[in-house]
A and B are shown apart, each in its own frame.
Chain A
């Protein structure tokens, strides 16, 4: 069973993608793949895994879908007739070569800008990741019927509005790729610092985001921002074990035991950052990855090259002049020029609804000895964060102030 589960997660996206092209309909493809996995659960434990599990799934799914569509078409179901007609013109592709590109089409369809972001995320995890509706609902802390409804609506819009199933043309690609990368990064961030709930991280979402980014990097090796996003996530992921204490509490970067950072992920992430630097086509994800690489280079927080980090944030701010970037730059400036300079920049960023704005202000005020103001800022940060581990961390900091 474990093996079938593994094949399911690994091959779901590819199978749905191939069959979507064959049938021209995502819903039909999804149902067909689900049927094929049910058949696999019945047969593989006795007969053993077929030589090519993915090929078996795709062939079985296609045959079962055609059987089902024929039954429906004979009852004068016009949609079934149209889908069958489509399938008759589309031979099953060979297993190598263009098959990989099918998943690329699927992810661009799932992340189409005509779908809202929660729908893009849900569809990507469902179709490419093979997560069940219940799993996605749990991961995003929404009731399962709500998530099911979201998926039904998104599939319906793809079908009725005729959202195309293809990789966008070169002229549209940069904008469309931004949307795909944003979805993958959102999945990662939701797993990395869960916006609410008892656990600080939801490792499965991070793993899924990294898997999607690896797939994109494999399919689009010439897009440096794809490489940058993968590097950024690997470097962040390398600190997972050090980010939480034994009791599940949050460990800020400066207090983490760097012995617990994963050297394999750091090496891979840094190699990707170096590849980006050689290519010299910087973008926001690549620069953020480079910032993480500077942290990864430092054997201790004290010897971090903060000047280099400030320079990278300067560059990032040019490409993405947002208050959130300005806020993070202020943290680096505080390390180079002192908390006073940092605080001036934080106040200029003015993000009163963002918990990190207040948490960072609180820390700088604490270092400046402005205890009463620091306490008020910690209170504001606590009120704005839904994540229990972060709340506990901030309460600890607040309690440690000598009021």
Chain B
């Protein structure tokens, strides 16, 4: 089994209208149930807006804190899943379901093997 990160790419701006969002949330719930009963679900959660982000970085000997996301862009990661799947085709199958449910692009990226594996 390989772990995959499924990231949701969300445009900046206001969230969709309540009735649209309501359907998305319902489809998302169904998908998460399906992931869980298939044993593929490891973790998933939505993120607050990027303007809630804080970056800390090493500058010389100091660690500097700055307000805002690391990358400013028209799109940002709005949430993600960590799933486990036997291969990329299985992971892409889940990603297709996710893209249908939330109507936003999903990036699929494999995790490195665990050191003890």
Contact = CB atoms under 8 A, between A and B. Distances in A.
Interface of A: 112, 114, 160-164, 168, 172
Contact of A163 (B88, B109, B112): B88
A31 to B, nearest CB: 21
Contacts of A172: 89
Interface string B96-110: 000000000000111
Nearest to B112: A160
B92 A162 contact: no
Identify whether the interface residues of B are mostly helix, strand, loop, or mixed: mixed
Overall SS of chain A's interface: loop
Contacts of B108: 161
B110 A164 contact: no
A183 B87 CA distance: 23
Interface of B: 2, 86-89, 92, 108-110, 112
Contacts of A168: 89
B79 to A, nearest CB: 21
Contacts of A163: 87-89
A160 B92 contact: no
Contacts of A160: 110, 112
A114 B92 contact: yes
A107 to B, nearest CB: 16
Nearest to B1: A162
B3 to A, nearest CB: 10
A163 B85 CA distance: 11
A108 to B, nearest CB: 10
Nearest to B109: A161
A57 B33 CA distance: 50
A168 B87 CA distance: 13
Contacts of B88: 112, 114, 161-164
A163 B92 CA distance: 10
A164 B88 CA distance: 7
A114 B87 CA distance: 12
Nearest to A158: B88
Contacts of B89: 163-164, 168, 172
Nearest to A162: B87
